[in-house]
Amino acid sequence: MGMLNKLKKFFITSKSWVIDLKDCTTMPSGKVIVDTVQNWADENQKKVTFVSNMKPVTFILDGTKYIVNINRERGAYTLYITNCE
């Protein structure tokens, strides 16, 4: 099973998921986070409504509110998206 399929399966069965910010070696701004989440939603044919576009970025997806946390791993940044309800 490819990594994308694993992520899709992980997303479908849990209330959190991860988006890697490839080539991002500096702390991402709120705009970069919003753009990344919006691109992910577009690619996965999901509709997101942003509650806050400032850190911490929060949004609603399928009636559930999520928060985006940032972590630095292996020299790049990763977005951890978790259910905040």
Give the model confidence (pLDDT) of 18-76 as tens digits: 888 877 888 999 999 999 999 999 999 999 999 999 999 999 998 999 999 998 877 78
Q: At residue 17, does pLDDT exceed 50?
A: yes
pLDDT of residue 20: 86
* Number of independent structural domains in the chain: 1
Q: Is residue 2 part of a domain?
A: no
In the chain, the DSSP E strands lie at: 16-21, 48-52, 58-61, 64-73, 76-83
Q: Is residue 8 part of a domain?
A: no
pLDDT of residue 32: 92
Strand partners, 82: 16, 67
Domain of residue 21, residue span: 17-83
Q: Is residue 72 part of a domain?
A: yes
Q: Is residue 70 part of a domain?
A: yes
Q: How far is Cα 53 from Cα 22, in angstroms, rounded to an integer?
A: 21
Q: Is residue 25 part of a domain?
A: yes
Quickly state the pLDDT bin for 14 (edges 50, 70, 90). low
Q: Is residue 10 part of a domain?
A: no
Q: Is residue 39 part of a domain?
A: yes
Q: How far is Cα 66 from Cα 74, in angstroms, rounded to an integer?
A: 25
